[in-house]
Amino acid sequence: MKKAKIVINILTFLLIGRISSAQEISQTIPPQLKTQSTPSLSLYAGFRQQRDSAAVVTVKFKITETGFLDTLFVSSNAPNGYFENIQKQLFKFNGKWIPQKRHGEFEKSKWLIYRHYVMGPSNRNSRIWAEVESSYKRDYELFRCQHNPKRSLQCLTPYIEGPDFFLFPPEWYPTYQ
């Protein structure tokens, strides 16, 4: 009986230690716009993609500790003008960001990463449409969680945090000619 109490005390101590360290890890809050209640952002590049073409464009940026755009990166497969259009949109938000916080202090942000699924006009039965839709669904499923296997509804997580990034759910951008 005495050994069982000692084991229970040790397990309780270890469990409390893990919970408190998990709380420390989750103390980082990503930047978000002052006008929104979540850290997400919807960007639209406003260009035309060719018929039956698609691209998965990665947009990464950082925000300073004062709420201004610091660094912007757009993957090399982005259509012409994409970088400039995204940059213009992000510049409009300069000073409108609540900077990243850790332990109550503002700091320069980690990378904020968005994957944009950019589709040109195409037949929904085409091979390209099926491949892009499948890839989008796979990415989107990263952000689904199931707290209770008996529950039929899943919840959507606002982002996935890594050591130097916040990955946000993919965004779908159909374009038209």
Look at residue 69 in the predicted model and tell me its pLDDT.
93
Mean pLDDT over the full length of the chain = 76
Tens of pLDDT, residue by residue over 125-148, are 777 777 888 888 888 888 776 555
Look at residue 154 in the predicted model and tell me its pLDDT.
59
Do 93 and 64 form a contact (C-beta atoms < 8 A)? no
Q: DSSP class of residue 175?
A: -
Tens of pLDDT, residue by residue over 34-88, are 887 777 777 776 666 677 777 788 999 999 999 999 999 999 988 888 889 889 9
Residue 24 phi/psi, 5-degree rounding, is -65, -40
Partnered with residue 54 across adjacent β-strands are: 119
The full set of domain ranges for the chain reads 29-174
DSSP state string for 149-162: TT-S--EE-S-EE-
